[in-house]
Amino acid sequence: MRHFLIDASALVPAFIPVKDPGLTLRVRLAVLKLLELGGQRRANLYVPNFCMAECSKVFAKVAYRGTKDHVRATSIYRSYVGALLNVVSRANKGLIRSYELTRPHLVDVEDVFELEYARFGNEKHGFLSGLDALVIAMGRDLANIHGKDNVLIVTKDKQIAQVCNHSRHAFPGAIYVLDDPIPDR
């Protein structure tokens, strides 16, 4: 069975439609495919618990920005957080499970940065944030449990995907949702 670790960059677009779907449509299709696999019990879906906070941050930014009606914005923001908790929840047996951050993940972050800078140190594009590195460390943890070939990180962050896919000896593979399909098996 496959185990997919989905980060906030891949999950958020499923909740927020945009007026010019374009590439966002691919992200939403990828999430639908993941939900389908999860619903058929052909895959386990996880979201790092801190990515829930990242999703909430985006909901809050969008809901409160550009409005004077604070009460209405709060009500809408809460409905999004409620829906997220409904989808990602152990207690509600949500389709996606929240994956807890633990101390070993924080330790493993060092390996992530060392490998990133060894491989991409001279390039001009952006580098991983601390939270990005934690996503990879949690993916590695899942790979240690379920086997590297059975775990995939799902992201819309190119750097996360590149670091994982160029360091397969150390990390699980990653699906960059704008380019890569979600495998059926």
Partner 1 sequence: MTLKQIYKEEHGEKGWKKLSPRVKKVVETIDSLPPLSEKPLTSRELKEALK
Residue ranges in contact with partner 1 by CB under 8 A? 8-9, 12-25, 28-29, 32, 35-36, 38-40, 54, 58-59, 61-63, 65-67, 76-77, 79-80, 83, 86-87, 95, 156
Residue nearer to partner 1 on the CB measure, 75 or 102: 75
Least separation in angstroms between CB 143 and partner 1: 25
**Minimum distance of partner 1 from residue 58's CB (angstroms):** 5
Nearer to partner 1, 38 or 172 (CB): 38
CA distance 84 to 183: 24
Whether the Cβ atoms of residue 113 and residue 161 lie closer than 8 Å to each other: no
Contact predicate 46/141, CB 8 Å: no
50 with 131: CB under 8 angstroms? yes
Who contacts 29 (Cβ-Cβ below 8 Å, separation ≥6)?
none
Q: By C-beta, is 12 or 109 nearer to partner 1?
A: 12
Backbone angles phi, psi at 29, to 5 degrees: -65, -40
Q: How far is the CB of 150 from partner 1 (least distance, A)?
A: 22
User: What's the closest the beta carbon of residue 6 comes to partner 1, in angstroms?
Assistant: 13
Smallest gap from Cβ 141 to partner 1, in A, equals 24
Instruction: Work out the angle at residue 141's Cα, subtended by the Cα atoms of residues 43 and 104, and round it to the nearest 5 degrees.
Output: 145
Report the residue number, 62 or 170, with the smaller CB distance to partner 1.
62
Looking at 30-161, which runs of residues are DSSP E strands?
A: 43-48, 96-99, 151-155
Closer of 115 and 161 to partner 1 (Cβ): 161
Residue found under tokens 């496959």 = 2
